[in-house]
Chain A
């Protein structure tokens, strides 16, 4: 009887061992699968490194703010944001001096033929005409602006029903994207007068205009300051509805051009488009790209229906 009990116990142990082996085999297979899955499921290494940014002073406040936020999230990352102007940014990014070149203007494929130069539109920046506080005028037409900046027809504010005060146009250097935009969309491609006061950054434009009696200048809405007052163009201010409707054309997309592609840059550029940064952009008087409605193209009614600034100016000119 005892021997039989022992045998049964033995057989039980044997059975248990066999089922354990089976379970171990199954677990081993699962682990094998998990091991295969491992490389795909690996978490990316924490971001670290350095990003150099320069270019548009109009975009600089937003990029600086975004860089601060980004470095708070990723302390290993250091982002160096500088100004210098849109063309400087384009030039530096194509010569690989910086990783990201901020620009208010498009990179001309003829000037920057590198096919790897990639455009990242981060927001829309409205530009606005400003005047010193002693100039009571709040609206100028596009033709009046052409005459002030290009032809030199108006030199005193009393010619424009203002006080007897010399008009001091303040302009930006040739590296400025704001200036290029101003020329393209306000002056109709014309050159500015060559003897005008040139200020190297948008921030300095505010100070200079505020301190100079009778000064008129242009800058990005992001750096607009209460020391100066904004002028509407053709009766339209730089509001989103006016831009969408096509009444106000002195605005530009803000570009961040890159030449190379890596995870850190992607992360930062994607971060620029997050709602966090876009809300900051809205607070800084930029227009988030998501807010801007789509312009509808029509092949039947081309330029005539639109407020083509150059055509308007030319027509007025030839009429006069």
Chain B
């Protein structure tokens, strides 16, 4: 809401934000630094270094995994190759052994054939026997070699390979077949030896030859067949060994696949873990930073980033903390300013209330802030107003004094006239004249009573009647001027002043509530109030001016009336004298002259009085003249000229204008 319309100020929003900005007492301004992580040395590395480290570790893990797989594969291949190589060797040696066996069989037959020749060559026989013995020795060596070196039992790695393929039982079979080969060889060798023993003599008897042939037939050939068969089985075992190695290879390939899979999974997990770890050292704190900035954005200015480590993020976090600290300081300062402003406004408001109560002696303290400017204007207005009221008061007092003087004069005039009348002898009318004004005097004030007494003092003559009428008119005019119009005007003025006070009160209230946030709107509102106040003051001025004007007119009329009266009194002394002398011929000339003198002096008094009144009115007009001139010029102007100005400049300009206007 506040984001979409940042310039609208609803009272609820203002209250909420003001509440949010108040420091919460449960938390200290800067929370104690709790370790966000346990002390992590990685956080002290710069981000680039950390990433490099992460990549290097990941690469190491991958290399390790592939290395393990590769080494396993290489070892397996090497074992297989070794095994096949050994198998080839075994096969070659055993096949050679079978060649020996077959050679021995044929050589034995050839030896017997040589021996059964009519004249056997001893040398040939010896060579044959030596060859046979040699073959026997070679075959024995072959078998012994095989039994001692080539058995699976002596090659644990080969045995392990076979066990992997599930063909571990080939080892005991090989052992058994070997022992079987050896046993058959033993029997064949003994038979062969028997034959050779029979033929080894210097001369070979026919019996020995027969015996040898018998042994060869009955014993040698079957045992030779057995030996060959046993050896054949042993050679066949190599085939089975080869297929077993093949099985083992398959199993190993499968195992390698599993290992590869496992290594891949492990490497994946480990690399993912490294990546997660590295990213966590970045992302977590960045999120924290983001959270804190959002919290500050939402108004919780007490939130601070917990700085851990010494990398770039830590630097940024510290910078953010410092920035928020600065902002909070500024806010605090602003708040203090606002409080001071509110105090000043409150003071101004109380001053206004005092003014409203009628005490115009106040003087609001003036400062540099807008409230001070307002106070200055207020002081100025109140001063002007006070001076105006004082002048009016003085004027009224002067008028009162004048009226009193007039009363005294008229009373003395009346008493003179009454004594003259008493002297001439018309007591009835005198009493009647005396009682009638006495009844009316308390209501009309001293001026009227004085005048009425003065005006009714001429009883008979036409001249006197006209004078009385003229005096009556003057009295009425004066009464009207003093009572009706002036009082009405003063009432209106008082009401206007009350309105102005109320307006000032509103203004001060506005200032006291909004003085903390002096924005454009508030200032505009204040200005509107000020304009209203100004209008009121203008009206007041107008009313006062009207009063002045009316009083001036009245006083002018009064002056004219008195002048006429004076003139009529002065112009008609001749007709008056005869007339006055006519009804009262008995009256002494001195008395009449005294009366004339009194009347003349009265007229002069009234003349001077009216002159003094004119002077007073002129003085008042002079004092009120600035109101009239400047008040008309400032009507409605400030709102138009200052509507587009920013608040600060506006207030400055407005205050300046207001000051200049007043």
A residues neighboring B (CB under 8 Å):
1, 26, 29-30, 33-34, 36-37, 40-41, 105-111, 115, 118-121, 184-185, 188-190, 253, 270, 273-274, 289-290, 292, 294-295, 297-299, 302-304, 306, 308, 310-311, 314, 318
Residues of chain A within 8 A (CB-CB) of B258 are: 37, 41
Residues of chain B within 8 A (CB-CB) of A184 are: 187, 219, 222-223, 226
CB < 8 Å neighbour of B136 from A41, A299, A310: A299
A308 adjacent to B261 (CB under 8 Å) = no
Residue of A nearest to B251 (CB): A40
Residue of B nearest to A110 (CB): B225
A111–B226 CA distance with the chains assembled, in angstroms: 11
B190 adjacent to A33 (CB under 8 Å) = no
CB < 8 Å neighbour of A121 from B173, B215, B265: B173
A303 adjacent to B189 (CB under 8 Å) = yes
Residues of chain B within 8 A (CB-CB) of A36 are: 257
Residue of A nearest to B185 (CB): A297
A303 adjacent to B193 (CB under 8 Å) = yes
Residues of chain A within 8 A (CB-CB) of B141 are: 299
Return B296 CB to nearest CB of chain A, in Å. 15
Residues of chain B within 8 A (CB-CB) of A37 are: 254, 257-258, 261
A311 adjacent to B194 (CB under 8 Å) = yes
Which residues of chain B from 1 to 36 have a CB within 8 Å of any chain A CB? 1, 3
Return A23 CB to nearest CB of chain B, in Å. 9
CB < 8 Å neighbour of B175 from A1, A40, A115, A294: A294
Residues of chain A within 8 A (CB-CB) of B254 are: 37, 40-41
Residue of B nearest to A42 (CB): B254
Which residues of chain B from 196 to 247 have a CB within 8 Å of any chain A CB? 211, 215, 217-219, 222-223, 225-226, 228-230, 232-233, 236, 240
- Of B1, B179, B215, most buried by chain A (CB within 10 Å of CB) is B179
A118–B233 CA distance with the chains assembled, in angstroms: 6
A302 adjacent to B175 (CB under 8 Å) = no
Return A180 CB to nearest CB of chain B, in Å. 8
Return A10 CB to nearest CB of chain B, in Å. 16
Q: 4 shortest A-B CB distances, which residue pairs?
A: A303-B190, A189-B218, A119-B233, A308-B190
A105–B229 CA distance with the chains assembled, in angstroms: 10
Return A206 CB to nearest CB of chain B, in Å. 27
Additional A-B contacts beyond A36-B257, A118-B233, A294-B175 (10; CB < 8 A): A1-B1, A30-B261, A37-B261, A118-B236, A119-B232, A119-B236, A190-B218, A294-B179, A295-B182, A303-B186
- The yes or no answer to B143 lying at the interface (CB within 8 A) is yes
Interface pairs (21), CB distance under 8 Å: A37-B258, A40-B250, A40-B254, A107-B229, A108-B228, A119-B232, A119-B236, A121-B173, A121-B177, A121-B233, A184-B219, A189-B222, A253-B176, A299-B144, A302-B190, A303-B192, A306-B186, A308-B194, A310-B190, A310-B194, A314-B215
A302 adjacent to B1 (CB under 8 Å) = no
- Count residues of B near A (Cβ-Cβ below 8 Å): 56
Return A241 CB to nearest CB of chain B, in Å. 16
A109 adjacent to B225 (CB under 8 Å) = yes
B225 adjacent to A106 (CB under 8 Å) = yes
- The yes or no answer to B184 lying at the interface (CB within 8 A) is yes
A270–B244 CA distance with the chains assembled, in angstroms: 13
B185 adjacent to A308 (CB under 8 Å) = no
Residues of chain B within 8 A (CB-CB) of A290 are: 172
- The yes or no answer to B39 lying at the interface (CB within 8 A) is no
A273–B185 CA distance with the chains assembled, in angstroms: 25
CB < 8 Å neighbour of B229 from A119, A273, A274, A292: A119
B179 adjacent to A108 (CB under 8 Å) = no
A106 adjacent to B230 (CB under 8 Å) = yes
A108–B183 CA distance with the chains assembled, in angstroms: 16
A306–B188 CA distance with the chains assembled, in angstroms: 12
Return B162 CB to nearest CB of chain A, in Å. 12
Residues of chain A within 8 A (CB-CB) of B215 are: 189, 310, 314
CB < 8 Å neighbour of A109 from B172, B223, B232: B232
A302 adjacent to B189 (CB under 8 Å) = yes
A273 adjacent to B225 (CB under 8 Å) = no
- The yes or no answer to B264 lying at the interface (CB within 8 A) is yes
Given known A-B contacts A108-B225, A109-B225, A289-B172, A318 and B211 have beta carbons under 8 A apart: yes
Residues of chain B within 8 A (CB-CB) of A253 are: 176, 180, 183
Over the window 457-484 of chain B, the binary record of Cβ atoms lying under 8 Å from chain A Cβ atoms (1 yes, 0 no) is 0000000000000000000000000000
Residues of chain B within 8 A (CB-CB) of A30 are: 261, 264-265
A295–B137 CA distance with the chains assembled, in angstroms: 17
Residue of B nearest to A37 (CB): B257
- The yes or no answer to B549 lying at the interface (CB within 8 A) is no
Which residues of chain B from 231 to 286 have a CB within 8 Å of any chain A CB? 232-233, 236, 240, 250, 253-254, 257-258, 260-261, 264-265, 268
Given known A-B contacts A120-B173, A273-B173, A289-B176, A106 and B226 have beta carbons under 8 A apart: yes
Return B97 CB to nearest CB of chain A, in Å. 12
A294–B223 CA distance with the chains assembled, in angstroms: 19
Residue of A nearest to B218 (CB): A189
A128–B660 CA distance with the chains assembled, in angstroms: 150
Return B101 CB to nearest CB of chain A, in Å. 10
Given known A-B contacts A40-B257, A184-B222, A273-B172, A297 and B211 have beta carbons under 8 A apart: no
Return B13 CB to nearest CB of chain A, in Å. 13
- The yes or no answer to B590 lying at the interface (CB within 8 A) is no
A295–B182 CA distance with the chains assembled, in angstroms: 7
Residues of chain B within 8 A (CB-CB) of A106 are: 184, 225-226, 229-230
- The yes or no answer to B318 lying at the interface (CB within 8 A) is no
Residue of B nearest to A185 (CB): B187
Residue of B nearest to A30 (CB): B265
- The yes or no answer to B191 lying at the interface (CB within 8 A) is yes
Return A70 CB to nearest CB of chain B, in Å. 15
- The yes or no answer to B169 lying at the interface (CB within 8 A) is yes
CB < 8 Å neighbour of A294 from B147, B169, B228, B257: B147
A169–B128 CA distance with the chains assembled, in angstroms: 42
B144 adjacent to A297 (CB under 8 Å) = yes
A311 adjacent to B190 (CB under 8 Å) = yes
A298–B236 CA distance with the chains assembled, in angstroms: 25
A253–B49 CA distance with the chains assembled, in angstroms: 74
A191–B136 CA distance with the chains assembled, in angstroms: 28
Over the window 145-156 of chain B, the binary record of Cβ atoms lying under 8 Å from chain A Cβ atoms (1 yes, 0 no) is 001000000000
A189–B194 CA distance with the chains assembled, in angstroms: 14
A1 adjacent to B180 (CB under 8 Å) = no
A109–B193 CA distance with the chains assembled, in angstroms: 23
